[in-house]
Chain A
Amino acid sequence: MRRYSYTRAKLTDRAFKYVALSFTAFALGVLVVLLIDIFSKGIARINWDFFRNLPSRHAEKSGIMTALAGMLSLLFFTIIIALPIGILAGIYLQEYGKKNRLAKLIEINISNLAGVPSVIYGILGLTLFVRILKLGNSLIAGALTLGLLILPIIIVTTREAIRAVPDSLREASYGMGATKWQTTSKVVFPFALGGILTGIILAVSRAIGETAPLLVIGALVYVPFIPEGPRDQFTTLPIQIFNWTTRPQAAFIVNAAAGIIVLLLITFLLNGIAIYIRNKWYKKIRY
């Protein structure tokens, strides 16, 4: 009897292993098919002109310069807005805030906000920033909307990074006679910075691919100019790609594929930086 159940457990074990393996293979397979499809269609289209040209009705002459510039400026402002608020809120909630029921409620709400569909943020941005604050369909309105979108992610990751700081460090710092501010700024924050930065870069890579909230707040499609300032109208790479896929001419699909490759590379690059920072930071800190 015992022997039987042993072989059975072994069988289950092996079966589970293969089931898991086949699901992983399936997920990877889909990704590989997608990547091969995109790369085979678009890679030949990527050249210097593709980065330098303005949008055009001729697929071969059309480029991503203004879309890329719009996307990068949008990210720049998004980071400027979301970063200080997110990090400070995270530090406050974890280090300073009282741990009572209200704090618990706030924590649950922030986690919930991280899961709200992005188009909802778009509608909020349209009403609040575009209409009430009269910012129009400008870069700054887009950046504020995306900032709101990634704020919960930054707060949650900041808290998690700070929570991972061992209490012994804090206690040692207090033991030396340091104040709370000194402890937070000189001990806790530097120790947590690696985790915080990783969270920020992941938040930014999420913001990069967003199209829906930007379309809602009124990002444009044909913008043959690089934005001059935060009040300027803009377009972004995902919107450009979206527009290309709706064109009747097949040549625009090639452009869309090339645009997707650029977007993928930027996302990969950001994720790579996140991993690099994390590894480097954790090696550096040795108490």
Chain B
Amino acid sequence: MELRSKRVQIILIICIVSLVSCFKQYKGRISIDGSSSVYPITEAVAEEFRNKHDDIRVTVGVSGTGGGFKKFARGETDISNASRPITESEIKACTENNIGFIEIPVAYDGLAVVINPANEFIDYLTVEELKKMWEPAAQNKITSWKQVRATFPDVPLSLYGAGTSSGTYDYFTEAIVGKARSSRGDYTASEDDNVLVQGVSTDKGGLGFFGLAYFKENKTKLKLVGIDAGKGKGPIYPTDSTVRTGTYAPLSRPEFIYIKAQSANSPVVREFISFYLENAATLVKEIGYVPLPDEVYKLSYERFLKKKLGSMFVNKSTVGADLIKLMKENQ
């Protein structure tokens, strides 16, 4: 018995030693968290970055834009992914903890409004009509497509959209209803866009919204709806070019990363951001988002090097914002 327990001890020690010796020395760590819409971009960058610098640990979490900012304000992360600009209360939380941040836009994303492919009566929708179905007053009242437009048949209307904790919801409500975080509550909400795809594709009177990338992967199951912003341009479909030029208004939105000012001094983070902005255009395209104009990436890098703190969107909406102009004003 004595001998056996000694043998067990020796085996245990060997195991522990061999485990410990597997561990590598890392030059630095970068911890990133935040929006699930920006996640694919940052993940792609981190993956490519690792191929070049496998001694720098980059980890990415998905806590949602708001959840990410909460951690960011506590100083727990170096970079926060965000699908909307930081809000005033979040800025306040950062200031209280002495966290400064650099705001950098990394991509455009078009929010696709989709319906069931069997739906023949919808040719396009206006922003007014979208507002009519989504505003808080529509709750339990607007339940049929006939109420949206008189020429539509009396088909039950069912809505699918992002959950209230996501930046996508914030943006959509701000762009359509006119006030962020205000909408009817009786719609199918999910943080998982595949659930929304599934819902709209099996519901004849369904309408949903989510990032263009999810439509691109599910083209056969869904039908895209053109949006008429009421500016005389007629209905416009989200494509790479209409999203980039902002013609697909008001549902093209910029996606951001926020970098902690203290972390921006670290050579590891500098390396990562420089890599991010150099490769963003290619990678963003690859994963189905729309790259920003090259000039914006250049301006962003300058902004990062200069450590220009603060948000460009204080008291300003991202809906219809001209990024190049805004960034030049804010350099």
Contacts and interface: CB of A to CB of B under 8 A. Distances in A.
Given A57-B40, A248-B214, A248-B217, A224 B46 contact: yes
Interface string B63-75: 1000000010000
Interface string A221-253: 111111011000100000000010111111000
A55 B58 CA distance: 12
A226 B22 contact: yes
A131 to B, nearest CB: 8
Given A57-B40, A57-B44, A248 B216 contact: yes
Contacts of A263: none
Interface residues of B, number: 37
Contact of A224 (B31, B50, B191, B217): B50
Interface string A11-22: 000000000000
A222 B79 CA distance: 14
Given A57-B44, A228-B23, A246-B193, A221 B39 contact: yes
A222 B213 contact: no
Interface in B25-72: 26, 31, 33, 36, 39-40, 42-44, 46-47, 50, 57-63, 71
Contacts, number: 76
A136 B47 contact: no
Specify the main secondary structure of chain A where it touches its partner. Answer: loop
B59 A136 contact: no
B282 interface: no
Interface string A22-66: 000000000000000000000000000000001111000000000
A221 B216 CA distance: 24
A122 interface: no
Interface residues of A, number: 25
- Contact residues of B: prevailing secondary structure: mixed
Contacts of A221: 39, 43, 60-62
A220 B193 contact: no
B15 to A, nearest CB: 11
B213 A57 contact: no
Contacts of B193: 246, 248
Contacts of A194: none
A248 B47 contact: no
B47 A233 contact: no
B194 A224 contact: no
B36 A246 contact: yes
A55 B47 CA distance: 8
Given A218-B71, A226-B22, A248-B213, A57 B57 contact: no
22 contacts: A55-B47, A57-B40, A57-B43, A136-B76, A218-B71, A219-B61, A220-B33, A220-B60, A221-B60, A222-B42, A222-B43, A222-B59, A224-B58, A226-B22, A246-B191, A246-B192, A247-B40, A248-B193, A248-B211, A248-B217, A248-B218, A248-B288
Interface of A: 54-57, 136-137, 218-226, 228-229, 233, 243, 245-250
